[in-house]
């Protein structure tokens, strides 16, 4: 059947997360690791940089199949993430490309300038061995994000090369998934004290 990563998912028939359905949220083991730094001073924080990569067709969010991907635009998701990142002592850099080679290049560059990655590779999730190799070589914490629940969609969309390099996968929660990925990375990187 293929690789099934740890996931946090919500939504019916692959539809994005609807905030009115909080009571129906199902969580199936997203691991969050506390970084070893700042143990001597639990109130001390540091700022870490997270690169958020978005793959093909995500520039069309808000108009492309809103019944699957929701009505949020990539700009509105970015704005929400910037606000959440500030609360978490993180900085974020958002990028989107329709070009596989450009995405691979950004991952390669990230190792020298960022402490973690959030990746929504779009269709490259299911096809790009080159992206997987770059993520493994970068050796950074990675959280994979998908707006829809890929496990409730076509079988080919249930295969993820990115997940093989990711510490966790969040899918089906719409734009909120990006914010949850930031929270997980803030705990992993030690920029916030665990609740």
Please list the active-site residues: 69, 146
- C-beta separation of 74 from 59 below 8 A: yes
Please enumerate in sequence order all residues whose Cβ is within 8 A of that of 9, keeping only pairs 6 or more positions apart, or say none. 26, 28, 149, 151, 152, 170, 171, 172, 173
């Amino acid at each position: 059947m293929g690789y099934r990563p740890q996931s946090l998912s919500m939504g019916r028939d692959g539809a994005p997360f609807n905030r009115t359905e909080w009571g129906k949220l199902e969580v199936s083991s997203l691991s969050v690791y506390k970084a070893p730094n700042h143990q001597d001073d639990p109130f001390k924080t540091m700022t870490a940089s997270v690169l958020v990569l978005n793959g093909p067709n995500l520039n069309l969010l808000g108009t492309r199949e809103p019944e699957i991907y929701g009505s949020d635009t990539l700009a509105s998701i970015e704005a929400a993430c910037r606000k959440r990142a500030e609360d978490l002592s993180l900085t974020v850099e958002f990028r989107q490309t329709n070009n596989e080679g450009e995405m691979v290049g950004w991952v390669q560059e990230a190792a020298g300038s960022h402490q973690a990655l959030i990746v929504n590779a779009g269709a490259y999730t299911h096809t790009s061995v080159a992206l997987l190799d770059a993520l493994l070589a970068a050796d950074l914490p990675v959280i994979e994000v998908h707006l829809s629940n890929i496990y409730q969609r076509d079988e080919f969309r249930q295969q993820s090369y990115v997940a093989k390099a990711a510490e966790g996968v969040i899918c089906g929660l719409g734009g909120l998934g990006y914010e949850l990925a930031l929270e997980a990375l803030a705990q992993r990187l030690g920029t916030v004290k665990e609740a």
